[in-house]
């Protein structure tokens, strides 16, 4: 087993689930203690539609996962069965949940998809195009919500976040994140769809500077991955890209609507599109979180960004419920299927 595989397998370790759980519960507990209001909880009335909205929130997480499974089957030309697609997506989410959001689970995703018998060239293309589709959803959706909602309604929080020893408000973080995503996506479009060899040449030229030279091998490897991805994806039809993007749209929309359903279980709200829009801003902040799966940061950001729609004393409890529905299941499902998956893929490798 290579050192790289050992490092990845150390990430796919069920012991790692303790860190995000303890972080999340710790922050949620602190927020709950700070804003506890007995009257808020006394006035909660569990009625039939409370259970219905929570059930719908859970169903939407299922829709999200089905959309991801459909997309990965599409990207692999159905080389993965539905069962294998389920395992890949669950392990991919597990890896993302136990690694810092700013790092992400892409390296582990490469390992997981490759171990399903897909060659590394196609695996690289699949993981890269998956990221590209997710970012395209964000790039296209943000202008729509800003036009419909207005930026003043999106950025009302007083919270500030430190990056490189400088403090930024939610608007500043959002602009930095959006511009970064826009630049990254533009680079992928140029490299994959326009001029992959030219992109590799530019990378090599940049990393030949003395202070960057130690990263030159990685730059060459990245250039090769871009060329491979281009070969894999250039011949795809327009219908293929429509299907892939629609699956991405369904997965992200379902994820965001979980919060809408959850709030409706306890509070009557009318401006659902604003709740949806606020989550687009939240996602940028969670994207740069240094904690595993944004644990701790997610609970705080939820309570801060959505306090307008939720009684103050109830916000931390709903933040915890949100994570119980949309985050913690991936930790436990991933840990459960991991041993069987490892046994299957390594047994097949030995036979081969």
The Cα–Cα gap between 302 and 113 comes to 32
Work out the pLDDT band at 56, boundaries 50, 70, 90. very high
Spell out the domain ranges in the chain: 55-351
Q: What is the pLDDT of residue 233?
A: 81
Q: What is the pLDDT of residue 73?
A: 95
pLDDT at residue 299 greater than cutoff 70: yes
Q: What is the pLDDT of residue 13?
A: 67
C-beta separation of 292 from 105 below 8 A:
no
pLDDT: which is higher, 170 or 253: 253
Q: What is the pLDDT of residue 249?
A: 95
Q: What is the pLDDT of residue 40?
A: 56
Provide CB contacts within 8 A for 171, sequence distance 6+: 151, 155
| Phi, psi dihedral angles at 3 (to 5 degrees) | -60, -35
Q: What is the pLDDT of residue 143?
A: 87
> What average pLDDT does this structure show over 90-103?
80
C-beta separation of 294 from 101 below 8 A:
yes
DSSP element (H, E) containing 153? helix 151-154
Work out the pLDDT band at 52, boundaries 50, 70, 90. very high
Name residue, tokens 């997710």: 134
Name residue, tokens 């327009």: 238
Average pLDDT taken over every residue of the chain = 82
User: Residues of the chain with pLDDT > 70: what percent?
Assistant: 84
C-beta separation of 149 from 143 below 8 A:
no
pLDDT: which is higher, 228 or 352: 228
Work out the pLDDT band at 236, boundaries 50, 70, 90. confident
Token reading at 3: 């050192």
161 DSSP β-pair partners: 168
Q: What is the pLDDT of residue 65?
A: 96
348 DSSP β-pair partners: none
Q: How big is the chain by its Cα radius of gyration, in Å?
A: 21
DSSP element (H, E) containing 74? helix 48-75
Q: What is the pLDDT of residue 247?
A: 96
pLDDT: which is higher, 155 or 186: 186
pLDDT at residue 33 greater than cutoff 70: no
Work out the pLDDT band at 219, boundaries 50, 70, 90. confident
DSSP element (H, E) containing 161? strand 160-163
pLDDT: which is higher, 289 or 64: 64
């Amino acid at each position: 087993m290579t050192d790289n595989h050992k490092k990845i397998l150390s990430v796919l370790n069920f012991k790692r689930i303790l860190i995000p759980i303890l972080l999340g519960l710790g922050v949620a507990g602190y927020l709950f203690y700070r804003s506890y209001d007995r009257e808020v909880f006394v006035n909660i009335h569990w009625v039939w539609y409370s259970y219905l909205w929570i059930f719908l929130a859970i169903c939407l997480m299922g829709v999200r996962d089905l959309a991801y499974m459909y997309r990965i089957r599409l990207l692999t030309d159905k080389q993965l069965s539905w069962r294998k697609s389920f395992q890949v997506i669950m392990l991919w989410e597990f890896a993302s949940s136990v690694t810092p959001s700013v790092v992400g689970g892409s390296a582990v995703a490469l390992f997981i998809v490759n171990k399903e018998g897909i060659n590394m060239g196609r695996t690289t293309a699949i993981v890269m195009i998956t990221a590209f589709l997710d970012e395209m959803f964000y790039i296209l959706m943000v202008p729509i919500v800003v036009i419909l909602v207005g930026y003043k309604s999106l950025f009302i929080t007083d919270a500030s976040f430190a990056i490189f020893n400088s403090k930024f408000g939610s608007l500043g973080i959002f602009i930095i994140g959006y511009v970064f995503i826009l630049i990254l996506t533009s680079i992928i479009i140029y490299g994959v769809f326009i001029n992959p060899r030219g992109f590799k040449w530019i990378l090599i030229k940049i990393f030949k500077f003395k202070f960057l030279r130690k990263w030159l091998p990685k730059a060459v490897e990245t250039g090769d991955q871009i060329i491979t991805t281009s070969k894999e994806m250039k011949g795809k039809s327009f219908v293929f890209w429509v299907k892939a993007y629609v699956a991405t749209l369904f997965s992200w929309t379902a994820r965001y609507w979980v919060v809408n359903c959850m709030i409706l279980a306890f509070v009557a709200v009318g401006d659902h599109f604003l709740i949806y829009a606020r989550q687009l801003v939240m996602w940028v902040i969670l994207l740069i979180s240094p904690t595993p799966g944004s644990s701790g940061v997610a609970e705080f950001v939820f309570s801060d960004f959505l306090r307008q729609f939720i009684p103050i004393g109830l916000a931390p409890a709903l933040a915890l419920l949100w994570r119980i529905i949309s985050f913690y299941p991936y930790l436990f499902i991933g840990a459960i299927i991991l041993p069987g998956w490892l046994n299957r893929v390594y047994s097949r490798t030995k036979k081969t």
